[in-house]
Amino acid sequence: MALFTSERDISFFRHINKELLNNIIQQEVDFYKLNLYETKSNIYGEAPKIKTYYNPVRLSCLITREDINNDTTNFGVDTKQIVTFGFLRDGILDEKNLVPEIGDLVNWNEQYFEVDGININQFISGKNDMTNKDVGSGFGASWSYLCKSHLTRVEKLNIVNTVIK
């Protein structure tokens, strides 16, 4: 059993976090999972410019955004922005059966962000069940997915937005 944290505490944390994300913060994004089976690759195993994605899933999240940078090149202005999307692990794995991976897309603020890296080391009570074998059940599980992403061009994507009337 973990010191100073019981299973009842974990249940309380889980309930409060879900309520904060879904009912108070209410920030939602559309998450596009990369479809590796439909994306054709070249002889080196690299994906071409056109990738294929599954239909989007709407998820609640926390968003941490950096400032927008405009770089001027010989070809014009290039807009760059880094955004981190924080998803509750319980909300994604249990309810939506979804695991974020590098290359997935997030649609937020009418812009698309490609996931560059995923941080899954926010442990309950700071204890990792892989290294601390005596912490008990429910402990050591990663609490969230933090997906660091960059702003990507819509022209690169194989996504067609349709308006249903």
Confidence of residue 66 (pLDDT cuts 50, 70, 90): very high
Mean pLDDT, to the nearest integer, of 61-72? 89
Q: List b or e across 9-48, with b for residues whose CB sees 16 or more CB atoms inside 10 angstroms.
A: ebeeebeebeeebeeeeeeebebbbbeeeeeeeeeeeeee
Does residue 1 sit within a domain? no
Does residue 165 sit within a domain? no
Residue with tokens 């204890």: 127
Does residue 64 sit within a domain? yes
Residue 116, pLDDT score: 94
Does residue 161 sit within a domain? no
The answer to whether 2 and 127 have CB atoms below 8 angstroms apart is yes
Does residue 164 sit within a domain? no
Q: Which domain holds residue 53?
A: 7-156
Does residue 44 sit within a domain? yes
Number of independent structural domains in the chain = 1
Give the lowest-confidence range in 40-49, 73-82, 86-95. 40-49
